[in-house]
Structure 1
Amino acid sequence: MAITTIGGSNRRSFLRRGATAAGASLFAVAAMEGLSIRAANAKDGEKDRGCPDNGGYGELRERTRTDPETGFSQTLWLPEDFDFKVFAVAASPMRDGNRTPLAHDGMACFPTGRRGEWRLVRNHEERNDPGAGVPAGSIARRYDELAGGGTTTMSVRWDRGQPHFTEAWQSLSGTIVNCAGGPTPWGSWLSCEETTAGTGAGWAAEHGYVFEVPSAEEGEAVPVPLKAMGRFVHEAVAVDPRSGVVYETEDQNTAGFYRFLPNVPGDLAEGGQLQMLKIADEWNYDTRTGQRSGKGLYVEWVDIDDPDPADAEEDPLAVFNQGWARGAAVFGRLEGCFYGDGAVYIASTSGGDEGEGQLWEYRPRGHKGGTIKLVFESPDAALLSYPDNITVSPGGNLILCEDTSRDLPAMRGLTRDGEIFPLVYHEGRTEWCGATFSPDGKVLFANMQGATRGELGDPALEPGRTIAIWGPWSMGVL
């Protein structure tokens, strides 16, 4: 089977392919412009303007499906003529003899070179204490012998009008709290640890790093912490396919927005310079409240002299504080991050005057700086609450995963006119995360996180699981 690789030819050619990839994301920018319109209307009192006929998909209907491997049954509310499958449930066996870890989270879908065959690389935000639960993967490839997190890779194919799960295996082991990350233009997944815990907390290794997982890997990747990219409470990343610059978000109430300038674009292990965003001519600008949608702010970047500080475990803000001392800006809980048409879009989950979330656009202008502007701020939880993962639909609109504790967690569609509507929801409180479309746009894959702590296979725990959703996307706006 021809699998996308991260060999020399792919690394050398990704910049040439960047312009094409960027052009494919023009629709994402249109949807973000719609958000700006919605924000303006909301301030004029139109907070309840919904999307007609639920985005064209009509009333959501209840249906139940069961994972044949584990017998786990799932009920979802979906549009008419849509269907779903549940697979790769936590504790289910994988081809390498390991069991699927807890806490399904960030994820991306990669082509394999064969039509209708894809690979999903999926994070596991496992939060057990050192040595508790089931350590992930093989001892020989485990970054930390006491850790149960990492990534799994799944093989999926489209046949006879529906997706079929083929097999799964451990692809990164011995890391912890692998929350989000992002795909690279050269066919790998960057998995991020959302913690700076280390040996002081009883672990066998230091944590708080980014790890690269080739989607083509047939087994466990060599776990190399990319220390130059920073040791902090990571969330997501987005790679500019034109320059190779990697943008990184930090998931804390006091958070920075970072960029990593690699010494060799496409080869992150060769090191580089970590920097933090600063608003030009402003010292320690606070983006969390008092912002105006659509107002452009000029940006510069300040160097982080020590991206891997010795005191990061005791002080998770050790990297942030270096940028703060040079006047860098502060954000509230930066989570989702993606690249589209020359810009990077980031979700501030708790930002805004109401604390319900913001979406920002950063557009680089040359090497030294650029502009950032607020494109949306939720005026109330009923419209949008705690936006997290973001993905682009086949029709050029957006799907948002809400990181919220409200009942009936949802994935919501967002139109270019700034109208938001529920696409799918379920009863319970486990969050949706890791939404990603297959390369041909037929299938929306997403994770339901489940328990992040506990004994793997414990029937009292809600298991993480991966969901595949498909149907007539063209009947509506997505």
Structure 2
Amino acid sequence: MRQLSKTTRRSFLKKSGIATVGFMGLYQFVQPNAFAGAAHAKAGYGALLPDPAGILNLPKGFSYKVISKIGQKMSDGLLTPGNPDGMGTFKGENSRVLIVRNHEISPDDLEKGAFGKDNELFKNISADLLYETGKGQLPGLGGTTTLVYNPKTQEVEDEFLSLAGTVRNCAGGITPWNSWLTCEESTVTPGSYDGRLDLNHGYVFEVNAAADKKLNKAIPIKEMGRFNHEAVAVDPKTSIVYLTEDRGDGLFYRFIPNEPGKLYNGGKLQALAITGENSRDTRNWSDLEVPKFQKNHPYKVTWIDLEDIDAPDDDLRHRGFEQGAACFARGEGIWFGDGELFFACTNGGEISAGQVFRYTPGAHEGKADESAAPGTLELFAEPNDKEILKSCDNVAIAPWGDLLLCEDDKHPFVVGITPKGEYYKLAENVGFRTEFAGGVFSPDGSTYFVNIQGAGLTLAITGPWGQRA
């Protein structure tokens, strides 16, 4: 275990809502009682025990169940799409959990789409609800599915397509008004894919969290900018939306809506800048000849207004940097906690193994007088040791306070960080050489949902949560 911070830690506890967020019953495995210890186990739940099914190693007392698999027929007659990624969870009726799940699928990856390998099921939906139809030949295969999960039976009772016609929906975030914001990690343009795409991509879309089996009309929130979006987090106090960008030279953004809770009514997009410091490059790569961004140091920030945010040349980050914005190494998952948010940068740090930042909004965040009490940015974690953490991606805060990170790696772990700054391993993917994605807790904290992306699996994990060693 390594101590991450000597400063007083704020509580990670969330105020409301939980997010990151077939084959039914194929595996349900309770781990055995004996196995040798593992590194950093004392900070968490103990050693990870070998899974006889060869899929997921977990600590003693924990179990998992595969609840969804690519290609199975859903309630709407379509097929469960592949490449599941970011997820959010919401309270449903009769103790059900609503899971809204992204799918990071490119338009030509037909075998992973909801419409079948020849798009033969595309005729069964209303094309006017899609954002991109691809001239009827190559509809956007990204988007979201919604699952209605019964935690008592550990079964999915309904599963349906809830957004379609988008490209590579990677992550997103929940809103305080009970919806999911899903982000396109793509900036493809009209004429792409052999001329079959008609529209620009690189936007955020909103999906209602509902069990109505309806396909939401896909409308881009263009004033949130066009770039290689990754994830978002909404401050429940202000409705300000914070956004990450999955680029090696990306920015960190915020969107101040004109009207709280109504993002389609427009707003202002800005980029974060560091106030009065020598370096505005946070990546800490060893070959950069700039001052290092120090750990555990709260840097004061300011925010820069951005123009021409539809960025036809995909240069929003470059123009923002020229204006003085800070640069980040592949911004990924983001999560809002108790008056602060955390976001991961997948290949930041001296050995490019990943970083976690903490942003604390100012007392007058987003208002004209915010410079009197500005927000602060802190490099919260950069272990520079791949045995501890590598390629951190999706982020979630557990109800009892731990930060959980999904690794984007061919041999990935779910890594926990306690409020004291100690690391531990919660889960290990031993069945498939592909990343974990979308880790998120149910609203009551009883179940942790996570995807094994390349395998097209969604798992539900239960156990003695909050009872760390």
TM-score by length of structure 2 reads: 0.81
Query: Does 1:142 find its partner at 2:130?
Result: yes
What is the aligned counterpart of 1:351 among 342, 348, 358? 348
| Residue 277 to residue 474, structure 1, CA distance change in 2 (3 Å) | closer
Q: Is the alpha carbon distance of 1:284 and 1:302 closer, same or farther for their aligned partners in structure 2, counting shifts above 3 Å? A: farther
Matched, 1:119 2:83: no
Q: Corresponding residue for 2:316?
A: 319
Structure 1 residues 351 and 295, CA gap change in structure 2 (3 angstroms)? same
Structure 1 stretch 117-126 or stretch 349-358: which is displaced more? 349-358
Identify which range, 418-427 or 244-253, moves more after superposition.
Answer: 418-427
C-alpha distance after superposition, 1:196-238 (max 9, x if no partner) = 1021313122110000001026211111100000000000100
Equivalent runs, 1:56-71 vs 2, <5 Å: 56-64=45-53
Q: Deviations over 1:93-130 (max 9, x none)?
A: 11111111121000011001433x11000000002438
Kindly tell me: are residues 171 and 59 of structure 1, through their superposed partners in 2, closer, same or farther at Cα, counting changes over 3 Å? Answer: closer
State the match for 1:227 in structure 2. Answer: 222
Alignment of 1:283-302 (within 5 A): 285-289=280-284, 290-302=292-304
Match of 2:425 among 412, 422, 426: 422
Alpha carbons of 1:55 and 1:186: their partners in 2 closer, same or farther (altered >3 Å)?
Answer: same
Secondary structure, in 3 states, of the residue corresponding to 2:191? helix
Once residues 55 and 94 of structure 2 are traced to their aligned partners in structure 1, the CA distance between those partners, rounded to angstroms, is: 32
Find the residue that maps to 1:373 and give its secondary structure.
Answer: strand
**CA deviations over 1:144-193 (Å, ceiling 9, x no partner):** 1121111000000122xx52211100000010100000111111100000
Count of residue pairs the alignment pairs up: 403
Deviations 1:17-44 (A, max 9, x none): xxxxx98438xxxxxxxxxxxxxxxxxx
Partner amino acid for 2:342?
A: Y
- Report the structure, 1 or 2, having the larger helix content: 1
1:306 to 274, 288, 308: 308
For 2:74 and 2:211, how far apart are their aligned partners in 1?
Answer: 15
SS at the partner of 1:143? Answer: coil
* Cα distance in structure 1, aligned partners of 2:48 and 2:297: 37
Instruction: Summarize the Cα distance change of 1:475–1:328 in structure 2 as closer, same or farther, 3 Å threshold.
Output: closer
Is the Cα contact below 8 Å between 1:436 and 1:444 reproduced in 2?
yes
Which segment drifts farther, 277-286 or 79-88? 277-286
Q: TM-score, normalised by structure 1?
A: 0.80
- Give the letter aligned to residue 166 of structure 1: E
Residue 57 of structure 1: CA displacement?
A: 3.4
User: Which residue number corresponds to residue 45 of structure 1?
Assistant: none
CA distance in 2, matches of 1:253, 1:23: 28
Distance change >3 Å, CA 448–CA 288, structure 1 → 2: same
Q: CA deviation at 1:52?
A: 4.5
Q: In angstroms, what is the RMSD of aligned CA positions?
A: 2.2
1:476 and 2:456 are equivalent in the alignment: no
Alpha-carbon distance, 1:398 to partner: 2.1
Deviation digits for residues 277-310 of structure 1 (CA, Å, limit 9, x no counterpart): 1112358711111221111211111111111123
Tell me what 1:243 maps to: 238
Q: Does 1:174 align with 2:141?
A: no
Instruction: Tell me the SS of whatever aligns to 1:84.
Output: strand
**How far apart, in 1, do the equivalents of 2:415 and 2:201 lie?**
33
Question: 1:275, 1:150 → 2: CA distance?
Answer: 26
**Cα distance, 1:131 vs structure 2:** 7.3
The answer for the alignment partner of 1:412 in structure 2 is 415
| Pair 1:249–1:228, CA change in 2 (3 A) | same
Q: Which runs of 5+ in 2 are unaligned?
A: 1-10, 16-37, 134-138, 285-291
Structure 1: which 5+ residue stretches go unaligned?
1-21, 27-48, 65-73, 451-462
How far residue 58 of structure 1 moved from its aligned partner, in angstroms, is 4.1
User: Which SS does the other structure have where 1:153 is aligned?
Assistant: strand
Moved more, 287-296 or 148-157: 287-296
Cα distance in structure 2, aligned partners of 1:84 and 1:59 = 13
Structure 2 residue 176 is the aligned partner of structure 1 residue 185: yes
Q: Distance in 1 between matches of 2:448 and 2:110?
A: 35
> Contact 1:57 / 1:475 at 8 angstroms: preserved in 2?
no
The answer for the alignment partner of 1:216 in structure 2 is: 210
Report the counterpart of residue 71 of structure 1 in structure 2: none
Q: Is the 8 A contact 1:249 1:257 kept in 2?
A: yes
Q: Identity of paired residues, percent? A: 41
Task: Please say if residues 208 and 233 of structure 1, whose CA atoms lie closer than 8 Å, have aligned partners that are also in contact.
Answer: yes
